């Protein structure tokens, strides 16, 4: 039973399970029409209904949370799917912004490769365990970001070297000043660190909280 009490025309309004009654007066809502000296305005009705429905929504939300707690977490395959989409979306947004900055191309035509689905999903998946290990050891954020960035460089170089062997590497950093055989470049150190921070704080954390 939900009880909400207001002062209006010096009379308290009480809500009992969705039925609105003036204390000591007949019901004025729920399809009933009773004459009386105290008739609440439509604005008061709207206010009470709004609070009531918010209360019900909050109760439903708590019920949903309790149901989620008792349900199972996402499978590794489902998490890989989320990480793959996140990685490709970030790459398209980054390449579009990078090209716009240097070429002023207002089409914002970002680009990626289907290989990126596998590369990003597996990288963030392994970062799950790495993140848990580092945080259990209470490593500060700068240390964690350094480890993540080094891991990303190693992952990018390994995949690039393997794909180049088959003539399928979709990126080439040869035009950058601080590149290493075109597979990695120091110019991307800060973007990779920021991407790792977003992955740890938002993507991995929220994905591990999801329940089915």
Backbone torsions φ then ψ of 13, nearest 5 degrees: -105, 125
For the chain, the distance separating the N- and C-terminal CA atoms, rounded to the nearest angstrom, is 31
Task: Give the pLDDT confidence of 146-192 residue by residue, as tens digits.
Answer: 999 999 999 999 999 999 999 999 999 999 999 999 999 999 999 99
Q: What is the pTM of this model?
A: 0.65
Q: CA 22 to CA 29: how far, in whole Å?
A: 10
> Quick check: 53 pLDDT over 70?
no
| Confidence band, pLDDT 50/70/90 cuts, at residue 71 | confident
Predicted confidence at residue 102, as pLDDT, reads 87
Task: Give the pLDDT confidence of 89-147 residue by residue, as tens digits.
Answer: 999 999 999 889 989 888 999 999 999 999 999 999 999 999 999 999 999 999 999 99
| Confidence band, pLDDT 50/70/90 cuts, at residue 62 | low
| Confidence band, pLDDT 50/70/90 cuts, at residue 69 | low
Task: Give the pLDDT confidence of 4-18 residue by residue, as tens digits.
Answer: 444 444 444 444 444
Q: CA 148 to CA 194: how far, in whole Å?
A: 10
Task: Give the pLDDT confidence of 43-52 residue by residue, as tens digits.
Answer: 444 444 444 4
H or E stretch covering 113: none
């Amino acid at each position: 039973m939900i009880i909400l009490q207001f002062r209006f025309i010096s009379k308290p309004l009480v809500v009992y399970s969705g039925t609105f009654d003036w204390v000591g007066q007949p019901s004025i809502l729920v399809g009933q029409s009773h004459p009386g000296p105290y008739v609440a305005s439509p604005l008061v009705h709207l206010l009470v209904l709004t609070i009531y429905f918010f209360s019900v929504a909050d109760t439903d939300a708590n019920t949903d949370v309790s149901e989620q707690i008792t349900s199972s977490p996402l499978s590794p395959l489902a998490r890989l799917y989320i990480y793959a989409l996140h990685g490709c979306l970030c790459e398209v947004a980054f390449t579009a912004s990078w090209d716009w900055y240097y070429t002023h191309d207002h089409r914002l035509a970002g680009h990626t490769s289907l290989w990126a689905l596998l590369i990003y999903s597996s990288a963030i998946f392994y970062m799950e365990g790495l993140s848990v290990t580092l945080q259990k050891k209470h490593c500060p954020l700068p240390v964690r970001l350094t480890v993540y960035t080094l891991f990303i460089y190693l992952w990018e170089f390994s995949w690039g070297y393997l794909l180049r062997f088959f003539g399928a590497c979709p990126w080439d950093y040869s035009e950058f000043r601080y590149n290493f055989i075109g597979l990695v470049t120091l110019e991307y150190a800060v973007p990779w660190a920021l991407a790792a921070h977003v992955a740890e704080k938002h993507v991995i954390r929220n994905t591990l909280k999801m329940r089915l």
